[in-house]
Amino acid sequence: MSDEVGFVTMAGPKAEGQAPTIGVGMLGYAFMGKAHSNALKKLPYMMYPPVAIPRLVAIAGRHKEAVQEAAKRYGYEKAYTDWRKLIDDPDVQVFDNGGPNNVHAEPNIAAAKAGKHVISEKPLGRNAEECWEMWQAVKKAGVKHMVAFNYRFVPAVRLAKELIDQGKLGRIYHFRASYLQEWIADENFPMVWRLDRDIAGSGALGDLGSHIIDLARFLVGEPRSVMAMTKTFITERNADGKREAVTVDDAFVALVEYDNGALGTLEATRFAPGRKNHNTFEINAERGSIRFNLENMNYLEVFMRDQPREIQGFTQVLVSESYHPFWKNWWPQGHIIGWEHTFVHEFHHFFDAVVNNADVKPYGADFEDGYKNAVICDAILQSAREKKQVDIKY
Ligand code: SOE
């Protein structure tokens, strides 16, 4: 190719100082396999210049045809039906676990022991015991570790975190969060893995509640105690023509007191017709309030008490300015982004930790956060079972 002015050199050997390549091994090719693969491919040219260039080395999944199709669709070099072979692959430096909750512990521990950095979908495990084992394994192995609580990487949520950390809101009185979906309200919806305690660990609590518990810890601080109830509205569903028992919660509601004195509520359900992915929180504090709704994820609603009283009211801040979190990577103001882009942010954060030995905390959740999340989930289930207030003990 001529190097005369006017010709652009085609992508060729790595330019001097170009970001290192990181080999990724993905476990799972369903919803999270798709969301993670999409983010890995978008990252190098959108989080530009990238901190690392993901190489889609391998994807693993149980069904040979499906995993081969996924490898072709997303551009993975290899496809495995045995995750152990993926973890043993010397080209894999980062193990990405997007499998069901019962396939988090063994592979994550094996990956850590093999010296791979590990990013794992939430909830980290089915209970605190499993999560403790994973946390100890990654610490012992000295690898980087992260739990994909992707809602920490919504620009509006990061802005809320910055306002709180800068003291702009003052003392927090309330954190009120609910995560509402509707997809199993129909009694004809069949049994799926998220409704089986042996696979999922819990229902709406671990799947949706873990997100708002993580946001509570990220934005407000550590819960001190919980008082909760859970409910399973439909106790059995069709499974290949048979009736199978639903062994998890369909919904939970919890009263929470925090170490810093804040008081709040957490609830999650999949029986809220009309609520598609309605992850919302509101913080009421000394100097004002903020409210977030994932279904309107580019906005942060803000009320500051120091506004002139004749024009007081909640402001809908469109979080899309160049000076807003993550926005220098995207578009001019107002050209909003979506749910998928939170995964681009979180992988960029994780690869920065891997390449530059940076900390995953405080902006990312690591396996310690995944463990503490599970302790809180277990306490909510214990409170509901024993009908009493339960203190949080890590
Ligand atoms: C299903 O409830 C689900 O996909 C959760 O598993 C995700 O964590 C949440 O972000 C969207 O809903």
Indicate whether this model's pTM tops 0.85.
yes
Q: Which two tokens stand for residue 327?
A: 């926005």
User: For each of the chain's 394 residues, which pLDDT tens digit applies?
Assistant: 455 555 455 555 455 568 999 999 999 999 999 999 999 999 999 999 999 999 999 999 999 999 999 999 999 999 999 999 999 999 999 999 999 999 999 999 999 999 999 999 999 999 999 999 999 999 999 999 999 999 999 999 999 999 999 999 999 999 999 999 999 999 999 999 999 999 999 999 999 999 999 999 999 999 999 999 999 999 999 999 999 999 999 999 999 999 999 999 999 999 999 999 999 999 999 999 999 999 999 999 999 999 999 999 999 999 999 999 999 999 999 999 999 999 999 999 999 999 999 999 999 999 999 999 999 999 999 999 999 999 999 9
For the chain, domains (ranges, CATH) are 21-150 (3.40.50.720), 155-296+298-337+364-391 (3.30.360.10)
Ligand 1, atom 9: nearest CA belongs to which residue? 208
CB 153 within 8 A of CB 337: no
N-term to C-term CA, the chain = 61
Q: Ligand 1: residues whose CB is within 6 Å? A: 31, 181, 207-208, 277
Q: Where are the alpha helices (DSSP H) in the chain?
A: 31-46, 64-74, 83-88, 105-113, 128-141, 155-165, 197-200, 204, 210-219, 339-356, 367-386
Q: Relative to the CA of 207, which ligand 1 atom is closest?
A: 6
φ/ψ (deg, to 5) at 137: -65, -45
Q: Relative to the CA of 151, which ligand 1 atom is closest?
A: 10
Which of 277, 280, 346 best tests ligand 1's pocket when mutated (most atoms within 8 Å of CB)? 277
